Structure 1
Amino acid sequence: MASFVTEVLASSGKLEKEDLSSKISTLSRKVEETKEEVCNMINKRYNEFLPSMQGAEELMGQVEDVSKDIDILKNCIETEVQQNLHVAVTEYTELKQQLEKNTTIIGVLRRLQEFDTAMEEYHRGLLEKKYTVAATQLEKARGSVDALKAGKGCELQLLQALSAELTIQRENLIYHLGEEWQRLTVWKLPPAKELTSVEAFLKTELHLNSRGQKEEAQQGGALPLLANILQALAVQGQLRNKIKLFGQALLKYVLKPLITYPSLHMDLTDVPGQGTILSFLSVQTAAVHPSPSQVYTKVLTVLKALHAHLLDVSVGEKKVSLILGEMIWEEMSDSIIRECLLHSIPANSSQLGQYSVVIKETEGFEKSLRDMQYLTSDSTDLLKYARNVNCHFASKKCQDVIVAARNLMTSEIHNTVKISPDSKLTLPQLPNPLGDKSKQQQEAGVRKASRAETPVILENEKNLGHRTLCLPVCRISKSAEQLMELALHTLSEAVGSSNQCATQLFYTVRNIFQLFYDVVPTYHKENLLKFPHLAAIHHNNCMFIAHHLLTLGHQFRHHLPKPLSDGTATFVDLVPGFRRLGTECFLAQMRAQKAEMLERLSTARNFANLDIEENYSAASKAVRQVIHQLKRLGTVWQDVLPVNIYCKAMGTLLNTAISEIITKIMMLEDISTEDGDHLHTLCQTIIDEGPLVFIPLPEENKNRKYQEEVPIYVRKWMTFKELSVVLQANLQDLVDRWADGKGPLALEFTTNEVKSLIRALFQNTERRAIALTKIK
């Protein structure tokens, strides 16, 4: 029996393991005994010096036997035990894999069960119009399919079928929700191409169906249909898209037209059992832009109706009204600012105090929107814009001023007004910057000074005339005068304004003059070069502006806030530029007139050989043309330029003409008697008619004074007259007029010039030689 059991166990490997253990134990015991004996042997041999060769040999035999037993046991372990161990591990791995496969299959079956249950609940909810339940169950089914896709063990064909079914049912749900949404909000819109007038918007209607607010689902205590629809749209991720499209239509067809057109108003009509109809009606009005109160009232009418019939539903932590508000608020508030608040800003600083009403209306408007949860923020761009009215007033004022100034600069220059030393611009009434207390102190100081001793009057004291710093009589453009009046009015608006507003207005006035400096010479460039009349007016305009810029800053400095009142408020730095601008323009015209005059004199054939009829005719024509040119300029500049500028300009041009004639005559080497007569005639023509071009005043009898003062303004005038005399004089007359270098001839010509004239006028005779010796 024991041997049979042993054989059975040996065949199964269990007995082998037990026998192997016992053998190892026995072998270990033998090893220890052998070790002990070997140690004793070595000890006896090397310590006690007891030779025991026989005992050692026996021990060596025992050691070899034990070594053989170890090798056998080692081979047994490597062959049989390790092989059995590998088989056991393989069997365990297979069992584990089988268990995992079974677990995966169970998970797939559970997901499929969840998907089936969710789809059944979805179909039941969709049939009963419990859209929120249907949408939630459809999302659960989607989660089950996503889990199956992420896991293993589910066939690809089955996954494709589930995904297709899920897509179909989602589209089905979205379609039903879209149909319900369309029944809740029904638009009646005009064609887009007609949206260009108020009449087109009168065709717009919005029907809000109250069924969605009141109709309950069949089961008691369930959500109203409206909430069901909106929450289901949110679950499916379609709510924001629906609200966005609705908000865009609301802005384009309802809110923006109400904000833009003051004649449009909203009409609400309640239809029993159906809901509310929002439509437009037109009211006659003369207003170009609606007032803020009208806009707020009209917008709130629409948003309250939407809140009552459509948007007063919570989706998650948000109201649907807040979702709509977040989408339309920025564009709606920009439209209110651009079409309404911008135009409601006062045009004068005196009206700024009345704007507090608009600020309160804006605050009330936003409070109503927060109560209906269209807004959550307490501070918005709309309210900031309304509260920052001072800055916007300054910006609007500055923009209007710049536009008005540019219109004046690009207007016609030739429309002129006459100014005189008594002409004054109307300065606005400014408050006393020193106040009552300072005024009393000043009055006290005056009284004290009056009781003091009379100051000592200095000898030879001279007082300036009351017109010393006044502008001379001249004509300027009406636009230049209006530009200065605009600058004065703008600076008066800055007085009493806030620091920021006053600073902005002051620098706008500076920008006006800098704009004039850049725009006028460029815009009128061609006309200023072509027409002497306009060049003279532009010169006067620049001098007029420069004159007033000297004191403009000083007049307002003490009425402006710091740092302007500390000396920053000045325009004096612009004065040299304006003077240079006017001077350069007029000098350019003078150069053009000089060039034209010299061009005409160039046709006189150098005033040579005038005994030939053609040469004399050409010279005479050139002289007549020069006289005509000067007379025309005199007429054009008459009563326009100041008298002193007029006389200097005409004198310079006349001096250019006679200097050219003198130069040409002095270059002649041979002047016959006939030539001399002709030259004398031409010179006498200029002498007779030249002074007549000096007509600065319209009154003819007053111009004689300036015609008599021609030598003052024409530097070569006396030289020219002396040359005219020389052309008709004989040798003795020339010698007498030279008078040993002290006569009138010597004052105008040099020795060489006189000798040259004598050689040209007289033949080479002994008398000419004697006369030449006297010219020294």
Structure 2
Amino acid sequence: MDVLFNTIDVRDLLPSQESPSSQLSAPDLRLLISRLDAHSLRIKSTVRSYLLSHHADFSSLFSQCSDVVSKSEHLSDNVVALLNLISDEPIEADVGGIVKEVVEKRRELGEKREILEFVGVVLELDRKLGMVREDSKSGRVVEAAEGLMELKKALGVKGSGGDDDLAVEGEPVVYGILKKQWNDCFEEIQELLLRFMEKAVRFDQEGNALHVMSRPTMNGIDGLELYTVLKAMDIAGILINGLAKIADLITKYVFIPVLNRKETPLFNEANDQSLGHVSEAVLKMVTSVDHESNKVDGETMYSNIVRIVEFVNKFLCFHNGSWMHSFGRLTWPRMSDQIISNFLSKVVPDDASKLAKFQEIRKLTVDFERSLKELMFISPSDVKAEKLSKFTDNVEVHFASRKKVQILAKARNMLLLSNFNLPQDYMTKISRLNKKEIAEDLTNHVVLLFSSEKCVVSEAAKQLMELVHQILKDVCLLPPKVGLEFYHTARNALVLYEAIIPVKLERQLDSINQAAVLIHNDCLYLSQEILGLAFEYRPYFPSSVKEIAVFIDLAPKFQLMAEEVLQRQIQLVMHNLKQAIDGADGFQNTHQIKKFESAKFSIDQVSFILEKVHIVWEPLLLPSIYEKSMTMILEAVFSRIAKEILLLDDMAAEETLQLQRLIYLLLEHLSSILEPLLAAGPREKSFEAQKDNLDEFILSLRKLRKLAELLDMPLKSITAAWESGELADCNFTASEVEDFITAIFTDSPLRKECLFRIDNLNMRKSTAV
């Protein structure tokens, strides 16, 4: 049979071995076909021979195949029968139920196992809580604190316990119970340790001594060392709470008396011979020898404080840096503030020349803080704890701040206590002096810096300016940092006037009085003095101060304030004069006795008001301001009276005489006011020339005088005066003249002719224009 499995190579059947790529010829192909046929016949003969020789084997094989097929058919019938049986009774439902029951039983078994494990944990936690309580009662406070912290982590307690940690949503109730038990246990241990601390460290007020016991006895617990108590507190996280009351006690009865230089510490140790250690340390406070003296000895005070801290470090904190730092955190802030307020602030120099001497105190302070750092009383790396050194480093600023407070307090008191009422004899003396020749002995007279005029100012303004000049002189001599503070002090002192005086004299500003005029003068004086400060002092300021020094911004405020005060006074005068003139009822029917008396009373009131203003203003105001203000007021008064008379539409002959009398009466009353204004002109002029000059100065005065003449002037003369331009020069209008003629003279051909002439002249003037 090997011939069937051998590979036939066609090339072996060819006659020659040529290249595989060469083409076959027709004879070659025929030869190849014949050889393949021969080979095929040989294969068939070989197969037939093989089958005949193995006939028995092939018969046995076919018999076995027939048996296998028969058995397969039988198995198929059995499977069909089984499927029919299953389809008649559905057993899969029972199998599903059994499976579910098995799963549920397994789940319940797992839960019970977990519950058993949880119960075991709870029982273990409860056992440990019991051990903590037992350790606490037996005095093993360190073991109790360690067990407590272990339980805290196991129970998930945050912070130091409390109601917020007792119940957590989704947590088993038993955990809340255990947390409450832990919290109760924590409170018990904390209370026990705090009571031990109070027992170990106490201050005997009768003996004035601090006692620190190394082995306090309490609640039947004997031999518990203070060191052990502090260690337990540290482990439990309540060391700060435990030291807080002790720190407050030591600060109150030990540190503060030493800082106030009233007491000095003495130290004593009581040794226990049997145990070989110090059983009790005593720090006794004795009255200081120089506590009543005002001398401040910083070196002794610092030395006593360091000795006290060393005592605490040795007998209370047992040279434990962490404990000592906790004690320092509780005492140092308060103690450092006391040192600054009771010592350092009091030795800040009052004079700039003493600043160098303060450096000795600064060195003592730096050494003091270094000693406290070495004892871990304050942290070596905490810059904020160096409060004393920072204070001494900034002594120049503190010096300037103290001087600033003193200067501003002085300025404030000066302004609050100032008196703006000048004595009567002083006013009389001023009124008799020539304005251009003010006497030198009148101290409140000042010369305005940027004008040649002099005025009276308040004592407060003069003293305030003297104070400012002194401050700025100091700025030129002081170090830059101090000079800058003094510069701001000078500005603030000036601002105080603006802030205090208007409020203090608010009621006086609502009436005509000396105070209001003095405030006006003060503001003028201060504004001009302020403008001169930069020119006078700025070149001599330190360079850093020179760069920012400015005063010009303050001057306009005082200039505006002066103008506001003056305008307020003028408005008050105008208001009073208006009310007085309103009382004349338009000067109507003055030929009647009652009406004339009413008008005369009104004129008297106007004269009285103007005379009062003259008496108050003239001696105090600058001449130029007085003349300008009084001219404005007189202009308004004369213009109003002339207008009221010209508005009358009918006047009897007797009435015109009465009106004329009232005008002359007014001018006579105001002669004391007008004469000083006349004196303002050249003295060599005649009185008539001066009067004409004043009429030009106060236009309505000339009109009022001319109106008095017109009241008894014939019609033709009035017409001639208009035609000559005399009335126009006195500020009369054509309509005013026509209405005046109509009111005085009855209707007649002459009146018509005069009115025509006036109207015709007015029309010609209008056409010419």
Asked whether the two chains share a fold, i.e. TM above 0.5, the reply is: yes
Amino acid at match of 1:565: K
Following superposition, the deviation at residue 367 of structure 1 comes to: 2.0
Output aligned runs, 1:332-481, within 5 Å. Answer: 332-377=335-380, 379=383, 380-412=386-418, 414=420, 469-470=450-451, 472-481=453-462
Query: Where does residue 436 of structure 1 map in the other structure?
Result: none
In structure 2, give the amino acid aligned to 1:181: M
Task: Give the secondary-structure state (helix, strand or coil) at the position aligned to 1:332.
Answer: helix
Partner of residue 640, structure 2:
660
For the aligned residues, what is the CA RMSD? 5.4
Q: Residue type of the partner of 1:760?
A: A
Secondary structure of the 1:573 match is coil
Aligned match of 1:239: 239
For each residue in 1:299-338, what CA deviation from the matched residue of structure 2 results, as whole angstroms up to 9, or x when unmatched?
A: 4454344345433432xxx353322112221232233334
Between the aligned partners of 2:63 and 2:563, the Cα distance in structure 1 is: 142
Going from structure 1 to structure 2, the CA distance change for 1:172 and 1:58 (only over 3 Å counts) comes to closer
Listed one character per residue, the Cα deviations across residues 680-709 of structure 1 (whole Å, up to 9, x for unaligned) are 111112212213136989x99x99999977
Partner of 1:644: 624
Which of 535, 539, 545 is the matching residue for 1:558? 539
Larger Rg: 2
> Is the 2:203–2:211 contact (alpha carbons within 8 Å) kept by the matching residues of 1?
no
Shift of 1:512: 4.5
Q: 2:266 aligns with which of 265, 268, 284?
A: 268
Q: Secondary structure at the match of 1:525?
A: coil
Are 2:208 and 1:205 equivalent residues in the alignment? yes
Counterpart in 2 of 1:198? none
- Change in Cα spacing, 1:516 to 1:270, as seen in structure 2 (3 Å) is same
Report deviation, 1:773.
5.4
Equivalent runs, 1:120-139 vs 2, <5 Å = 134-139=140-145
- Which letter does structure 2 place at the counterpart of 1:605? D
1:693 corresponds to? 673
Which of 641, 647, 650 aligns to 1:670? It is: 650
Match of 2:703 in 1: 719
> Are 1:533 and 1:636, in contact at CA under 8 Å, matched by a contact in 2?
yes
User: Please, what TM-score do these two structures have when normalized by structure 2?
Assistant: 0.67
Contact 2:202 2:210 in 1 (8 A): yes
Residues 610 and 243 of structure 1: CA distance in aligned 2, closer, same or farther (over 3 Å)? same
Say if 1:401 and 1:162 are closer, same or farther in 2 by CA, change over 3 A. Answer: closer
**Per-residue CA distance 1:630-653 (angstroms, 9 max, x = gap):** 111222224221122122222222
Structure 1 stretch displaced more, 336-345 or 364-373: 336-345
Q: Which residue does the alignment assign to 2:567?
A: 587
Change (3 A) 1:695 1:348: farther
SS at 1:187 equivalent: strand
User: Residues 510 and 628 from structure 1, CA distance in 2 versus in 1: closer, same or farther, beyond 3 angstroms?
Assistant: same
Deviation per CA, 1:695-754, whole angstroms, max 9, x where unpaired?
Answer: 989x99x9999997754653322222222222233345435644x424367444233333
- 8 Å CA contact 1:266, 1:279 repeated in 2: yes
| Contact 2:583–2:598 (Cα < 8 Å) also in 1 | yes
CA distance in 1 between partners of 2:181 and 2:756 (Å): 134
Q: Which amino acid aligns with 2:528?
A: H
Q: Which amino acid is 2:362 matched to?
A: I
Selected match of 1:730 from 704, 714, 728 = 714
Which residue of the other structure, out of 185, 193, 204, is the alignment partner of 2:201? Answer: 185
From 740, 744, 747, the counterpart of 1:761: 744
Separation in 2, partners of 1:647, 1:703: 17
- Mapped partners of 2:684, 2:318: distance in 1: 94
1:59 aligns with 2:65: yes
Q: Given that residues 204 and 280 in structure 1 are in contact (C-alpha distance below 8 angstroms), is that contact kept between their aligned partners in structure 2?
A: no
TM-score by length of 1: 0.66
CA positional deviation for 1:233: 3.7
Name the % identity: 20
Equivalences for residues 502-581 of structure 1 within 5 A: 502-514=483-495, 516-517=497-498, 520-522=501-503, 524-562=505-543, 565-566=546-547, 568-581=548-561
Q: 2:319 aligns with which of 313, 318, 321?
A: 313
Give a deviation string over 1:226-254, Cα, whole Å, max 9, x none: 43443344344443222111112333454
**Residues 132, 148 of structure 2: 8 Å contact kept:** no
Partner in structure 1 of residue 605 of structure 2: 625
Secondary structure, in 3 states, of the residue corresponding to 1:208?
Answer: strand
Task: Decide whether the 8 Å contact of 2:660 with 2:708 is kept in 1.
Answer: yes
Deviation per residue, 1:646-682 (Å, 9 max, x gap) = 2222222222222111011111122222112211111
Per-residue deviation, 1:610:
0.8
Q: 1:641 to 1:140 in 2, by over 3 A?
A: closer
- 2:155 and 2:568 map into 1 onto residues whose CA distance is 89
Contact between 1:601 and 1:626, CA under 8 Å: does it hold in 2? yes
Conserved 8 A contact 1:122-1:135: yes
- CA pair 719-354 structure 1, distance change in 2 beyond 3 A: farther
Q: Deviations over 1:442-480 (max 9, x none)?
A: xxxxxxxxxxxxxxxxxxxxxxxx988346222222222
Counterpart-to-counterpart distance in 2, 1:284 and 1:713: 78
Task: Please give the secondary structure, in 2, of the residue aligned with 1:311.
Answer: coil
The AA in structure 1 aligned to 2:420 is H
The aligned counterpart of 2:13 is: none
Could you tell me whether the CA contact under 8 Å between 1:637 and 1:696 is conserved in 2? no
For 1:11-63, what per-residue CA distance to the aligned partner results, in whole angstroms no more than 9, with x for missing partners?
xxxxxxxxxxxxxxxxxxxxxxxxxxxxxxxxx99xx9999798456335347
Residues 558 and 565 of structure 1 are in contact (CA less than 8 Å); yes or no, is this contact kept in structure 2? yes
After superposition, the C-alpha distances for 1:375-432 in whole angstroms (9 at most, x for unaligned) are 232641231222122333444444555554444555546156999798999xxxxxxx
The 1-side partners of 2:179 and 2:596 are apart by: 113
Provide the C-alpha distance between the structure 2 equivalents of 1:339 and 1:292, rounded to a whole number of angstroms: 11
The residue aligned with 2:277 is: none
Deviation by residue 1:506-538 (Cα, 9 ceiling, x = unmatched) = 345444445544554455433312343222112
The answer to whether the 8 A contact 2:270-2:281 is kept is: yes
User: 1: CA distance between counterparts of 2:676 and 2:505?
Assistant: 25
1:353–1:741 CA distance, 2 compared to 1 (3 A): farther
Contact 1:141 1:166 (C-alpha < 8 Å) held by counterparts: no
Answering whether residue 328 of structure 2 is matched by residue 325 of structure 1, we say yes
The answer as to whether partners of 2:475 and 2:487 remain within 8 angstroms in 1 is yes
Quote the Cα distance in structure 2 between the aligned partners of 1:518 and 1:340.
35
Query: 1:749 & 1:242 partners in 2: Cα distance?
Result: 101
- For structure 1, the 5+ residue unaligned runs are 1-43, 76-85, 151-155, 190-202, 214-218, 426-465
Q: Structure 1 62/360 Cα, relative in aligned 2: closer, same or farther at 3 Å?
A: same
**How far apart in 2 are the matches of 1:401 and 1:718?**
56
The letter for the 2-side match of 1:654 is: L
Counting matched residue pairs gives: 629
> Are residues 680 and 179 of structure 1, via their aligned partners in 2, closer, same or farther at CA, if it must alter by over 3 Å?
closer
Question: Which of 481, 486, 489 in structure 1 is aligned with 2:467?
Answer: 486
Distance in 1 between residues matched to 2:736 and 2:133, nearest whole Å: 128
Q: Please state whether the residue corresponding to 1:276 is helix, strand or coil.
A: strand
| 3-state secondary structure, aligned to 1:640 | coil
> Match for 2:738: what amino acid?
K
Q: Is the 8 A contact 1:597 1:657 kept in 2?
A: yes
CA distance in 1, matches of 2:695, 2:258: 77
Aligned-partner residue type, residue 550 of structure 1: L
Distance 2:561 2:180 in 1: 83
Give the distance between the partners of 2:756 and 2:313, measured in 1 at CA: 120
Question: 2:448, 2:454 within 8 Å by CA — same for their partners in 1?
Answer: no
1:186 match: secondary structure: strand
**Contact 1:634 1:694 survives alignment (8 Å):** no
C-alpha distance in 2 between matches for 1:580 and 1:167: 73
Question: Partner residue of 1:457?
Answer: none
Work out the CA distance in 1 between the residues paired with 2:316 and 2:662: 102
